[in-house]
Amino acid sequence: MTLVDSNIVIDVLTQDPSWLVWSIEALDARALRGPLYVNEIIYAEIAVKIEDRAELDSALETIGVVLLRSPEDALHLAGRIFGHYRRSGGIRTGVLPDFFIGAHAQIARLPILTRDTRRYRTYFPKVELIAPED
């Protein structure tokens, strides 16, 4: 089982010339180990690129990714860790989704397939990350 970050799904859906091959190979490798998931936050991030919901659902189905709702414990943890981040001087905009994703992965004990590891490594060090540099 793997939580797939939006950047990986977007690489595939947009056929990103720099990351398409890596992202497809990583998805295929993780699919051999179990289901591939996105949560509500990742789904919403992907919706920025695909406006039509039916088209988005179809695209996710085509690449073998399903929606897995975030546990309430993960939502609480995300808020707590984000609060710590803000009190430590972290920026206010554009980062909260990473805390929801990281907390979900930590609570559900899911690895995250991503190309953006910075906040996950810092705030969720127990979460296994599958990334290009790993």
How far apart are the two ends of the chain, measured CA to CA in Å? 18
Closest CA relative to residue 116, chosen from 4, 25, 27, 1: 4
Q: pLDDT tens digit string along 85-114?
A: 888 887 766 678 999 999 999 999 999 999
Phi, psi of 12 (to 5 degrees): -75, -45
User: What structural domains and CATH numbers belong to the chain?
Assistant: 2-130 (3.40.50.1010)
Kindly give the residue spans of alpha helices, DSSP state H, lying in 39-130: 40-47, 53-62, 72-87, 96-108, 118-123
**Confidence (pTM):** 0.90
